[in-house]
Amino acid sequence: MHRYRSHTCAALRKTDVGATVRLSGWVHRVRDHGGVLFIDLRDHYGMTQVVVDPDSPAFKAAETVRGEWVIRIDGVVKARSDETVNKNMETGEIELYAKEIEVLSAARELPLPVFGEPDYPEDVRLKYRFLDLRRETLHRNIVKRTQIIAEMRNQMNGAGFAEYTTPILTASSPEGARDFLVPSRIHPGKFFALPQAPQQYKQLLMVAGFDRYFQIAPCFRDEDPRADRLPGEFYQLDLEMSFVTQEDVWATMEPVMTSVFEKFADGKPVTKEWPRIPYDEAIRKYGSDKPDLRNPIVMENVTEHFAGSGFKVFANMIASNPKVEVWAIPAKTGGSRAFCDRMNAWAQSLGQPGLGYIFWKEEDGKVGGSGPLAKNIGEERTEAVRTQLGLEAGDACFFVAGEPAKFYKFAGEARTRAGEELNLVDRDRYEMCWIVDFPFFEWNEDEKKIDFAHNPFSMPQGGLEALESQDPLSLKAYQYDAVCNGFEIASGSIRNQSPELMVKAFEKVGLSQADVEDRFGGMYRAFQYGAPPHGGCAFGIDRVVMLLVGAKNLREISLFPMNQQAQDLLMNAPSAATPKQLMELSLRVIPPMKKD
C-alpha cells in the first residue's frame, strides 16, 4: 500500500465496503458521541467520515488529534445505516472504521477558524492566507477558477486561436493607469515597465502574420484597489485577430464566452445573442456604459411634459438652457409615498438636492398621480407622463433634470437603486451585451485638454478624413466593451494600423510625430511594412470568475491578493530594499515630502 494513501477523501463509495484502505488529510473537526470519536478527514478532493471505537488500536492517538492536524488513517470501509446516510457528501453512504492513526504534522492553535467559515477580519485572513485557502468556499472558488481558465483555453483553441506568450519586462505604454517600473542594473537610470496589457505586442504579432493570437495574460497596473479590481496585478483572456471587422470579433467571441458561462452557470440562463447597444443609447437609457440588463428599468426623456409647466424649478431650467433635459426613471410597483421618500432621502445622502417623483394610485376607478410634482404640472401632463412610460396604479416615477452629461451617472445610480430596492432585478441569470461606438476622444477637465477616451491605438470611425474635418469630441471609434450583469468584462477595438493616421490621432492629444516615434517606435515602424487590418479585445478573467462563483469581492477568487492598501500581508511586500540592492541599481530613496 502507498505510504500515505490508497484513496483520496472523496473517492470511497458503497462499492468499497469491506476494503482496507489508507487515507491522509487534514482533521476538519472531531466529535465525541458517547465515547465514540468521529473525525471528518478532509483533503483537496473532499471529505470522509472516520469512526474510532474505544476498543480500536487507533483510539488513543485519535484522542490527541485536533483541528487541522495532518494525519494518516488505515481502516475498513463500512456502509452507513439508512438513517445516517449523508446525501450532502459524495462519501455519505460509507464511513471508515479506523484501525491505525499516524500524526504526520501537528498544528498550533489556529489564528482563524477553517471549519464553519465564520466572518473574520480581512487582515488576519490575508496574513494567514494558507489557512484561509483551506476554507471550503474559497478553496472551491480557486478550483473553479482554474476550470474556467481551462475551458477558455479549450474554447479558444477550438475557435482557431493559438496561444503565444509576450514579454513581462517591457516599455511604458499609455493604457490609462500608472506603470510599475523596474530599474535596470545594466542600464543605470533607465527602467523597464511591467505590461499594463500586451497591447503593442499582440498588434505586432498580427503584423508578423500570426493571424489569431490569445494568451492568459498577467497585467500590472499601479491603481487604487476596489471591489471589482485588485491592486497590482490581474489576468485577462487577451486576443487579437487579423483581417477582421468588429462584427467578426463579436461573432467569434460571443459563442466562446457564452459556452464558458453556460458550463459554469449552474443552470442559470445565459444570453446567447448579445445585443449591441451604442454608447450614447446606453447612457440615455441606463445612465451607464456598463448597464445591468437584468434590471428592467429603462429611462426616458420627458422634457416636453415639464417645459412651460407649473413646476418652475424644471420649467425655468429648460427655458434658460437648450441643453437641459428631464429624464424619467420609471419604477414599477414603487407607488408608495414611503418608498418615494426613501429614494429622495437616498439622493440627498449623495449630496443631491433630491429626487422629484410622482406615484400613481387608483381612486373611484380612475388612476391619478400623487405627490408635489403631480400637483404642480397638473393632471393632463401627469397623465401624459404615465402614458408615455406605460405605468399603472401602484407604480412610481422619479425625475432628474439638468445637462445630461452632468447628471447621467446619478440617474444611472438611481435606476440601479430603484431596481434593487423593488426586487425588480432577476439575479438568477447572466445578461450579456456589447456596448459599441464609444467616443474616440474626451475632454480632460483637470488638464484642460483632449485625451483618448479608450484605447489610443483604436481606429476612428471615418478614418483620416474624420480626424481632419470633424470636431474631435464628436468622433466615434470602432471600440467596444462586453458587459455582464452590470460589470465590464471585456474591452476591445479595431486597431489603427496606418502610420499617418496614428500620428494624426496622437497630435490631437498634444503629441508630435517625434513623440510617437519615441514612445511607440516598434509599432510605428511595423505599420510601415505591411500591417493587416486587425482587432481584438481582452476579457477580465478575475471579473468573469467572480460573476460565475457569485463572489462579491475579487479577493474571494484570488490565491494571494493584496489588501486595500496594496500590501501583501503574507509575504510582507512591498518592503525596503537593502543599501546593497539600491547601490547595484544606482538608486537612492528620497522620503516623501511631509504635507502641511
- Each of the 596 residues of the chain gets a pLDDT tens digit; together they read 999 999 999 999 999 999 999 999 999 999 999 899 999 999 999 999 999 999 999 999 999 999 999 999 999 999 999 999 999 999 999 999 999 999 999 999 999 999 999 999 999 999 999 999 999 999 999 999 999 999 999 999 999 999 999 999 998 875 567 899 999 999 999 999 999 999 999 999 999 999 999 999 999 999 876 656 778 899 999 999 999 999 999 999 999 999 999 999 999 999 999 999 999 999 999 999 999 999 999 999 999 999 999 999 999 999 999 999 999 999 999 999 999 999 999 999 999 998 999 999 998 889 999 998 999 999 999 999 999 999 999 999 999 999 999 999 999 999 999 999 999 999 999 999 999 999 999 998 888 899 999 889 999 999 999 999 999 999 999 999 999 999 999 999 999 999 999 999 999 999 999 999 988 888 899 999 999 999 999 999 999 999 999 998 899 999 999 998 889 999 999 999 999 999 999 999 998 887 66
**For residue 31, which of 102, 146, 115 has the smallest C-alpha distance?**
115
Query: Does 280 carry a binding-site annotation?
Result: no
pLDDT at 534: 98
Number of Cβ within a 10 Å radius of residue 556: 16
C-alpha angle 249/251/253, rounded to 5°? 65
Cis ω for the linkage preceding 574 (within 30 of 0): yes
Q: Are 369 and 375 in contact (CB under 8 A)?
A: no
Cell of 118: 465564520
DSSP codes, 263-276: HHSTT--B-SSPPE
- Residue ranges with strand state E in 495-531: none
Domain with residues 138-277+432-558, CATH architecture: 2-Layer Sandwich (3.30)
The Cα–Cα gap between 77 and 11 comes to 12
93 is in an annotated binding site: no
- Look-up: residue for cell 427655458? 319
Is 468 part of any known ligand binding site?
A: no
pLDDT value of position 593: 80
Residue 515 sits at φ, ψ, to 5 deg, of -65, -45
Query: Which position has the grid cell 537612492?
Result: 588
Cβ-in-10-Å burial (0-12, 13-18, 19+) of 147 comes to middle
287, 362 in Cβ contact below 8 A? no
Using an 8 Å Cβ cutoff, are 10 and 46 in contact?
yes
Round to whole Å and give the CA distance between 460 and 451: 14
Segments making up each domain of the chain, as ranges: 14-105, 138-277+432-558, 295-421
Orientation of helix 541-549 relative to helix 246-264, angle to 10°: 40
Q: What is the pLDDT of residue 43?
A: 98
Closest CA to 407 of 350, 340, 483: 350
Does 543 appear as a known binding residue? Answer: yes
Q: Give pLDDT, residue 185.
A: 95
* Cell representation of residue 326: 428631464
In the numeric block, which cell numbers belong to residue 153?
A: 483555453
pTM here? 0.92
Q: What are phi and psi of 397, to 5 degrees?
A: -150, 140
Rounded Cα distance, 437 and 277, in Å: 8
SS (H, E, C) 63-83: CCCCCCCEEEEEEEEEECCHH
Whole-number pLDDT of residue 107: 97
Residue 454 annotated as lining a ligand binding site? yes
Q: Are 253 and 413 in contact (CB under 8 A)?
A: no
Let me know: does 239 contact 156? Beta carbons within 8 Å: yes
By three-state DSSP, how is residue 203 classified? helix
Count of helices and strands (H, E) across the chain: 18, 22
Q: Which of 462, 530, 471 is nearest to 498 (CA)?
A: 530
Give pLDDT, residue 7.
Answer: 98
Residues contacting 15, CB < 8 A, separation 6+: none
Query: DSSP secondary-structure letter at 60?
Result: H
Cα 278 from Cα 573, distance rounded (Å): 43
125 is in an annotated binding site: no
**Residues near 166 by Cβ (< 8 Å), separated by ≥ 6?**
195, 198, 201, 202, 205, 215, 217
**Three-class SS of residue 337?**
helix
Relative to beta strand 487-494, strand 276-278 is unpaired
Q: Are 458 and 479 in contact (CB under 8 A)?
A: yes
The SS3 call for residue 434 is strand
CA dist 191 and 589 (Å) reads 15
* 401 vs 302: CA distance, rounded Å: 10
Domain 14-105 homologous superfamily, CATH: Nucleic acid-binding proteins (2.40.50.140)
Choose the CATH number for 295-421 among 2.40.37.10, 3.65.10.10, 3.90.1300.10, 3.30.1360.30. 3.30.1360.30
- In angstroms, rounded to a whole number, what is the distance separating the alpha carbons of residues 483 and 271? 11
Distance, C-alpha 258 to centroid of its chain? 16
Find where cell 486561436 sits: 161
Q: Is 488 annotated as a binding-site member?
A: yes
Q: 442 a known binding residue?
A: no
Predicted local confidence at residue 174, as pLDDT:
58
Q: What angle do CA 225, 229, 232 make, to 5 degrees?
A: 65
Say if residue 175 carries a ligand binding annotation.
Answer: yes
Q: Record the cell numbers describing residue 503, joined without a space.
A: 500620428
